[in-house]
């Protein structure tokens, strides 16, 4: 028969788990620990991705937007400082541009009041993402015609990220002015219509977009990604027709009087 001291010693001992029995309630199985760690890592990664998207679409966009508008203003000022000569008459059938851009030259500035009273973007030769679209704003497809020429003057720009030059291009309405300024003067295009196509529809760059007929109009085509902000697979195409060219000697046209 156990003594009183032995009984007290047994009561003080921790309960032992029977062989083959359930684990102690306070003990966590190793697989649960692994699953918990993986879940926390995935949650952290998701938060970081959302933060990056927010930074790219809003914070960085705002900074690049200001840089591109400033670059456009500086380019326009260079031309304004030049003394214009020659004709002072506006025309719907301008001569070919005096300069053909090379490399990634910036040769034009685009103004679209519908996109904002301060909206202006440089136009550079080429549509390479890193060298042109990410830095300069708008890029001209060198395989298409130049501004003012019969055919298709096609220009590309980002819908989201890197200044998002054409983010709100879907807000254009029929008749809106899209003005392209160069050293020669101002080309005033009027917006006509838009369409959505797959990214493989390169025929929007033809002299007559999506047709095989000979060109007889002076067109401007804007291309950008769709949908926004997750731009995959589609393109939003906007078309405009040249209405009037104003030579530099005639001074800035009244349609741009809204500029500061």
Average pLDDT over residues 134-138: 94
Average pLDDT over residues 29-36: 74
Bridge partners of 18, per DSSP, are none
Cβ proximity of 122 and 64 under 8 Å: no
| Short-list 47, 49, 66, CA closest to 230 | 49
Residue 22 has pLDDT above 80, yes or no: no
pLDDT band at 17; cut points 50, 70, 90: low
| Short-list 160, 152, 158, CA closest to 139 | 158
**Which residues are designated catalytic?**
158, 225
What is the residue whose two structure tokens read 């838009």? 194
According to DSSP, residue 51 is labeled H
pLDDT band at 193; cut points 50, 70, 90: very high
Domain boundaries, given as residue ranges, for the chain: 56-96+103-256
Cα separation, 98 vs 102, whole angstroms: 13
Cα separation, 233 vs 217, whole angstroms: 29
Q: What is the pLDDT of residue 2?
A: 62
Mean pLDDT across the chain: 86
Cα separation, 244 vs 254, whole angstroms: 12
- Which pTM does this prediction carry? 0.78
pLDDT band at 11; cut points 50, 70, 90: low
The dotted CATH code for 56-96+103-256 is 2.40.260.10
Cβ proximity of 224 and 157 under 8 Å: yes
HSE, CB side, 13 Å, CA atoms: give it for residue 198: 2
Residue 50 has pLDDT above 70, yes or no: no
Cα separation, 117 vs 161, whole angstroms: 20
pLDDT band at 217; cut points 50, 70, 90: very high
């Amino acid at each position: 028969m156990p003594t009183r001291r032995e009984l007290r010693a047994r009561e003080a001992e921790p309960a032992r788990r029977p062989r083959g029995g359930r684990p102690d309630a306070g003990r966590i199985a190793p697989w649960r620990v692994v699953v918990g760690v993986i879940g926390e890592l995935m949650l952290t990664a998701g938060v970081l991705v959302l933060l990056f998207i927010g930074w790219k679409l809003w914070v960085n966009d705002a900074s690049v937007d200001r840089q591109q508008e400033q670059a456009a203003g500086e380019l326009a000022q260079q031309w304004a400082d030049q003394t214009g000569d020659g004709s002072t008459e506006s025309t719907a059938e301008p001569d070919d541009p005096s300069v053909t851009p090379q490399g990634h030259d910036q040769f034009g500035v685009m103004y679209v009041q519908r996109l904002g009273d301060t909206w202006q973007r440089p136009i550079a030769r080429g549509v390479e993402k890193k060298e042109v679209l990410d830095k300069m704003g708008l890029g001209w497809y060198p395989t298409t015609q130049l501004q003012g020429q019969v055919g298709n003057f096609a220009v590309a720009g980002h819908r989201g990220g890197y200044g998002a030059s054409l983010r709100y291009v879907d807000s254009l309405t029929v008749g809106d002015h899209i003005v392209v300024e160069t050293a020669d003067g101002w080309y005033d295009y009027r917006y006509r219509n838009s369409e959505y196509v797959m990214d493989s529809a390169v025929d929007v760059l033809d002299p007559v977009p999506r047709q095989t007929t000979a060109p007889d109009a002076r067109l401007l085509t804007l291309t950008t990604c769709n949908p926004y902000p997750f731009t995959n697979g589609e393109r939003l195409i906007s078309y405009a027709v040249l209405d009037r060219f104003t030579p530099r000697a005639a001074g800035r046209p009244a349609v741009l009087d809204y500029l500061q």
